[in-house]
Structure 1
Amino acid sequence: MCAVLLGVPVSAAAFGYLALTAKLEPLLYHDLPRSLGFGATPSWWPLPLLAVGGLLTALFVRHLPGHGGHEPTDGFSARGTPGLAALPGVLLAALATLAFGAVLGPEAPLIALGGGLAAGSVRLLRPGLPERTYAVLGATGSFAAVSSLLGSPLLGAFLLMEAAGLGGPMLGPVLVPGLLASGVGALIFVGMGSWTGLGTYSLKLPHVPRADDPTAAEFGWALLIGLAAALLAAGIMWLARRLRHRVEGRRLPLTVLLGLVVAGLAVAYAQGSDKSATEVLYSGQDSMGPLLADAATYSTGTLLLLLACKALAYAASLSAFRGGPIFPSLFVGAAGGVLMSHLPGLPLVAGFATGMGAMAVAVLRLPLTSVLLATLLLGREGLTVMPLVIVAVVASYVATAVLARPPRPPHGHLP
């Protein structure tokens, strides 16, 4: 019963936050320039947009409680919940990131929103309960908040369980109320989406081409894609962490500067191709479906440019802005997979799915969730290519672990 009572308001709050973000994106990128007298959005428009977004993000991180929430260069995290006093800063920093076009996703602020509201409200109403009780309630709220974001309440619940390392004595107390809250949250998302006409804001790929049974050559490609994704993700995270250390000392000017870098990459992509700058901006959640459906319209040069600009914008956003790393990693992997499908022996759907899974696990370090993300999003065709995705995910996971291993001390040196 507690899971139901928590799931309903938390899911409604999460839906409202996603709806606000979704409304601000076209308002700022399309409606605002037209209201200022431009016939269409100017090619340079991302520059002032990201400068303002960077300024607001830096101010919220620097001056509001909570420091804007989870540091995205640390990877995905589902541990701990912010207090109620920190929630405004977390949500505002993420809103300035997501709405103005930085390359991060909404899952981190939603997890903070769900966990913070659930644990914080019960802490106010029933102080003095064991800390374990508040932790379970916070996890339940997080389950409800992300229930439909990934296209399936089960997938969202699985993501949180694997990320939090739930097992042993903690699995039972969290699993049952968490799954119930996730199911309630999905119903609330569907109901509010239908009632408001705004949709459910979940990641779905409506038009997936048919996939054939895997071949031996495709298994070889899956192995190579896994290794390539591990190297690309290592480069992205290395650059993001190097930039983060500089940002921490001069947050306001450098966040604005990195916002301009993200915008410049988007403008460069738009000028160098016949595509929209928004494919480089934002999390990539809304661009994945069109990328797959219109893959034939992307030349090899366009895909290379998209991959390079999106990866660099992702690294810059990770270093200074606030949000989650999941959706950009999926988009970068998908773009790389589409690019690889131009080579002989690798069909489009197989490349798309293996790229998503390999890049997701290289960033998230969650192998089971990465396999499910890359396959369930493709529906029935995802089940067909699941063996390829598993090979790519395992190869990427192992390669990432090797790349992250600290160097051995010299022979004879005692640590």
Structure 2
Amino acid sequence: MSRAILAVVTPCRYRVPMPGPSAPSPAPATPPGPQLTVRRLMLLSIPAILIGVLSAVSLWGLNQIAGQLEDGLWTSLPKSLGIASDSPWWIFAVLTFTGIAVGLVVWLVPGHAGPDSATTELAATPLPLSVLPGLAVVVMLSLAGGVSLGPENPIVAINVSLAVAIVARISKAVPPALIGALAISATIGALFGTPVAAALVFTGMVGEFKMGGSLWDKLFLPLVAAGAGSVTTYLLGGGFGAQSPFDQYGAPQPFDLLQGALVACAAAAFGLVGIYLFPLVHRAFHALRHPLLFTALGGILLGALGAIGGPITLFKGLDQSAQLLADPSAYPPGQLSVILLVKLAALVVAASAGFRGGRIFPAVFLGVAAGLLGGALLPGLPLSLAVACGILGVVLAIARDGWVALFVAVALVDDITVLPMLCIIVLPAWLVVTRAREMLITPDDLARERPPARLPWGQPASVR
């Protein structure tokens, strides 16, 4: 994930006058870039706050519209028809309809809803404004229709594009790459309801900022944007709230370290199964070439998977994680195994079949289910630590970011006492995933699919 953000941030170069041939060499103590003065930080804080607030508002608006549509599809409409909303046939019908609707938008709407989310990470370069309406529509359709993807990748792309366009009209003094970095930070803060996640993500690559000053000078503006986004999210009634009913873990126990590492490594390995299937499934879908065909087929398969796994395997997974955690004893190991297999298959299909969305929120759900399964199979392991380890392993495999994995694991179980254990358990889990491929369709993968130079609906193959 940090490498993806670098693609946005690294073009942001602060120009430094270079000495001529006869000029003396700079003193060794001179920093590699200009210092960020207090005045400059204060001035840049103004667009950072505005970007933070607007990023949170756009996320809130998208979620509100998607929520209204979800209520219509899964509550009002089946009730008016006298159909149970959790009926396998209704689940199949809604997801099939969602696949067809998304395929029509990708095919017919200008901009074709932007790049295929399978080819993008959490960060994003600015898109033409004409692309954003179609992208917003397909994200709302996916969120409302029960597709196993989150809003994170598309909403980051939307916010980066809007921020760059808006700030460019107001002032040319702020570099577009810095605007994009602030929009990414603000959106991460809004998604998780706290600037801590953004700070952790940016800490991994902050050294690439070509500007002088301390670490906190470089983190200052991203934290301002993320803080504004997270505060705005809470004022609007959102946030990534803790959902754990477990008792505090308490003092670390040596044997728990071994058991927790087993759960985290097994969860990471399980996530890697889906990651290695990802390019194969993507190639199979895109062999159909037309977005209406492969997205409609994806909707049909998601409908079948949803009918098997039930409502708990639908949607992005955050509310469903709370449902699992509310009563862990209601889900025996056999049922948890089915939930895990169905949800992983649904994530791979949704990410491969042309739907637009992110993969972190479904990974969190998979981690919760994996942790509950690990806790059931290892009864001596406290459930709070087991769930945290499951989240750590799956998120680490899919997001490939240790900071995000640690943050989400601690935040969801709402137990800071598990953090010392997780800081050690993350090390063997990282060894499991570090040399594995990422959950991303690369240019090499696209080349193996041998797409035509131009696809039948007029969209260049490079942005499928």
- Structure-1-length-normalised TM-score: 0.85
Equivalent residue, structure 2, for 1:134 = 176
Structure-to-structure mapping, 1:12-411, within 5 angstroms:
12-38=57-83, 41-74=86-119, 76-126=121-171, 129=172, 133-159=175-201, 161=202, 165-170=205-210, 175-191=219-235, 193=236, 199-205=237-243, 207-250=245-288, 251-269=291-309, 277-320=310-353, 321-344=355-378, 345-379=380-414, 381=415, 383-404=416-437
* Greater alpha carbon shift after TM alignment, 58-67 vs 135-144: 58-67
Aligned residue pair count: 385
Shift of residue 33, structure 1, vs aligned partner: 0.9
* Greater alpha carbon shift after TM alignment, 279-288 vs 179-188: 179-188
| Structure 1 gap segments, 5+ residues each | 194-198, 270-276, 406-415
C-alpha distance in structure 2 between counterparts of 1:109 and 1:208, whole Å: 33
In 2, are the aligned partners of 1:83 and 1:120 still within 8 Å (CA)?
no
C-alpha distance in structure 2 between counterparts of 1:223 and 1:72, whole Å: 31
Shift of residue 384, structure 1, vs aligned partner: 1.3
Q: Any idea what the Cα deviations from partners look like across 1:336-394, whole Å, max 9, x if unmatched?
A: 11001112322211110000011101111111221111113322x2x211233233432
Q: For residues 41 and 279 of structure 1, do their structure 2 counterparts lie closer, same or farther at Cα, with a shift above 3 Å needed?
A: closer
Q: For residues 350 and 10 of structure 1, do their structure 2 counterparts lie closer, same or farther at Cα, with a shift above 3 Å needed?
A: closer
C-alpha distance in structure 2 between counterparts of 1:174 and 1:52, whole Å: 47
- What amino acid is aligned across from residue 76 of structure 1 in structure 2? E
- What amino acid is aligned across from residue 10 of structure 1 in structure 2? S
| RMSD (Å) for aligned C-alpha atoms | 2.4
Q: Percent identity?
A: 28
Partner SS, residue 436 of structure 2: helix
Q: For residues 357 and 41 of structure 1, do their structure 2 counterparts lie closer, same or farther at Cα, with a shift above 3 Å needed?
A: closer
Equivalent residue, structure 2, for 1:413 = none
Q: For residues 265 and 78 of structure 1, do their structure 2 counterparts lie closer, same or farther at Cα, with a shift above 3 Å needed?
A: same
Equivalent residue, structure 2, for 1:272 = none
C-alpha distance in structure 1 between counterparts of 2:299 and 2:85, whole Å: 22
Q: For residues 370 and 135 of structure 1, do their structure 2 counterparts lie closer, same or farther at Cα, with a shift above 3 Å needed?
A: same
Q: For residues 253 and 79 of structure 1, do their structure 2 counterparts lie closer, same or farther at Cα, with a shift above 3 Å needed?
A: closer
Shift of residue 54, structure 1, vs aligned partner: 0.9
| Structure 2 gap segments, 5+ residues each | 1-45, 439-464
- What amino acid is aligned across from residue 11 of structure 1 in structure 2? A
Partner SS, residue 403 of structure 1: coil
In 2, are the aligned partners of 1:113 and 1:145 still within 8 Å (CA)?
no
Partner SS, residue 45 of structure 1: helix
C-alpha distance in structure 1 between counterparts of 2:224 and 2:188, whole Å: 13
Shift of residue 330, structure 1, vs aligned partner: 1.0
Shift of residue 40, structure 1, vs aligned partner: 5.4
C-alpha distance in structure 2 between counterparts of 1:397 and 1:66, whole Å: 38
Shift of residue 41, structure 1, vs aligned partner: 4.9
- What amino acid is aligned across from residue 398 of structure 1 in structure 2? L
Shift of residue 266, structure 1, vs aligned partner: 1.8
Q: For residues 226 and 207 of structure 1, do their structure 2 counterparts lie closer, same or farther at Cα, with a shift above 3 Å needed?
A: closer
Q: For residues 335 and 258 of structure 1, do their structure 2 counterparts lie closer, same or farther at Cα, with a shift above 3 Å needed?
A: same
C-alpha distance in structure 2 between counterparts of 1:313 and 1:370, whole Å: 21
In 2, are the aligned partners of 1:162 and 1:369 still within 8 Å (CA)?
no
Equivalent residue, structure 1, for 2:49 = 4
- What amino acid is aligned across from residue 335 of structure 1 in structure 2? A
Partner SS, residue 435 of structure 2: helix
Shift of residue 117, structure 1, vs aligned partner: 1.0
Q: For residues 281 and 182 of structure 1, do their structure 2 counterparts lie closer, same or farther at Cα, with a shift above 3 Å needed?
A: same
- What amino acid is aligned across from residue 183 of structure 1 in structure 2? G
- Structure-2-length-normalised TM-score: 0.76
C-alpha distance in structure 2 between counterparts of 1:289 and 1:232, whole Å: 21
Q: Any idea what the Cα deviations from partners look like across 1:170-205, whole Å, max 9, x if unmatched?
A: 5778632221122222232222x2xxxxx2153431
Q: Any idea what the Cα deviations from partners look like across 1:131-188, whole Å, max 9, x if unmatched?
A: x8111112222333332321322224433x268x342335778632221122222232
Partner SS, residue 145 of structure 1: helix
Q: Which has the larger radius of gyration?
A: 2
- What amino acid is aligned across from residue 113 of structure 2 in structure 1? G
* Greater alpha carbon shift after TM alignment, 353-362 vs 220-229: 220-229
Shift of residue 311, structure 1, vs aligned partner: 1.1
In 2, are the aligned partners of 1:230 and 1:359 still within 8 Å (CA)?
yes
Shift of residue 74, structure 1, vs aligned partner: 4.4
C-alpha distance in structure 1 between counterparts of 2:84 and 2:108, whole Å: 38
- What amino acid is aligned across from residue 228 of structure 2 in structure 1? V
C-alpha distance in structure 2 between counterparts of 1:24 and 1:47, whole Å: 17
C-alpha distance in structure 1 between counterparts of 2:141 and 2:232, whole Å: 26
In 1, are the aligned partners of 2:188 and 2:198 still within 8 Å (CA)?
yes
